[in-house]
Amino acid sequence: MLQLINMKKLLGIVVLGLFLSSNAYAKDLTGTKLICKSPKEKNYRTISIDFIDAYEAIRFEIKEWKLSKRKLVYIVEPDQIRVGMWITIDRETLTIGYGTTPCEIVDKDFDLDLHMQNILNDHLKEQESKNKI
C-alpha cells in the first residue's frame, strides 16, 4: 500500500514537472495579428493569424478562391511558432514554411476578417476582368 502511494506521488511529480517545463520558454502572443501573403501562389493564397489567447489562434486563409476561418492551438518554441498541425512560423524571419511566405505584424485593432474578405473580393474582381468567358 505504501509503495502504491509513493508511486502515485512520484507520478504526480513527474507529470507536474513535464507540464511546467514545457512552458518554460513559451510566450503569450495574445493580441498579436499576422498577415502572410504568398506572392507566388496561384489563386492568391493568403493566411492571417489572430492570436486570441495564450493557447489559441484563429487562422483566416484564402485558398482556392474561398475564405476559411478556423480556431487552432498554437505552441511557441524558442525558434518557431507552430499553429495547428501545418503552419510553422520562423520567429527570426517571420516567414511561413520554407521561408517562401513572408508575414507582417499588424495593429491589434486591425480587423483581419474584414481585411481578408476585401482581399478575396479584390482578387475575384481582378480574375473576373481577365476571363474571356
Residue-level pLDDT at 26: 64
pTM of the model: 0.74
User: If DSSP codes are grouped into helix, strand and coil, which group holds residue 6?
Assistant: helix
pLDDT tens for 3-59 read 656 656 655 554 444 444 454 556 899 999 999 987 765 545 789 999 999 999 999
- CA pair distance 78, 91, nearest whole angstrom: 8
Read off the C-alpha cell for 7.
508511486
- CA pair distance 2, 72, nearest whole angstrom: 43
Residue-level pLDDT at 41: 55
Q: Which residues contact 104 (CB under 8 A, 6 or more apart)?
A: 34, 35, 36, 94
